[in-house]
Amino acid sequence: MNRRPSPILEHGVVSAAGPMLVFSLYLLAAGHNQPGGGFAGGLVAGVTVVLAWAAGGPDTVRRIVPVRSSVLLGLGLVIATLTGFVSLVAGGAFLESGYLERTLPLIGTVKLVSPLGFDIGVYLVVVGMSLGLVRALGGEPPEEEVGS
C-alpha cells in the first residue's frame, strides 16, 4: 500500500486527536459513577490511534502518541498491580479500595478513590495494546524501528 495519505485528512485527524484523547481521559475519570471507565476510555484512545494510522500512517501515529507501546503496557500492568499491593501493605486485603476525601482551596471537595489508580493502569494497558497492535499489524512499510 504505497499510497500517499491525503494531507487534508491527515491534518483533520491530527487536530481531532487531541479532543478525542481528552474525551478518553474524561471517560476514564468519570467511569466510577457514569458510563465509561478505563476500558472505554482506553478504547476511545485506541480508535484515535487507528484513525491516525489510516490517515497518515505510522508517522502520524507516532506524532500523536510518542511512546513505545511496551512502555504503556508495562507501566499499566505495574500501576494496576501496585494498587493492589498498596492496600495489602497498608494492612487491608489485596486490591482493597481506599478513599481519601479532601477539601482543597479553590477546587472544593475532591474524592480520591484507589480504584481510580487501578483504572488508570487499565487505561494505559488498553492504549498500549491499541498502539502495539496497529504498529505491528499495520507495520508496512516498515521504516519505523518498532519498539515493542
Binding residues for other proteins, rule: CB under 8 A, are 1, 31-40, 43-44, 46-47, 50, 54, 69-71, 73-78, 80-82, 84-85, 87-88, 92-97, 99, 111, 113, 115-116, 118-119, 121-122, 125-126, 128-130, 132-142, 146, 148
Q: Which is nearer to other proteins, 101 or 105 (CB)?
A: 101
At position 86, the amino acid (one-letter code) is: V
Any bridge partners for residue 102, and if so which? 110
Closest CB 4 distance from other proteins, rounded Å: 17
How far does the chain reach from its first CA to its final CA, in angstroms?
A: 23
Beta strand segments in the chain, E = 99-104, 108-113
Closest CB 79 distance from other proteins, rounded Å: 8
Closest CB 147 distance from other proteins, rounded Å: 8
Residues 6+ apart with CB under 8 A from 39: 122, 123, 126
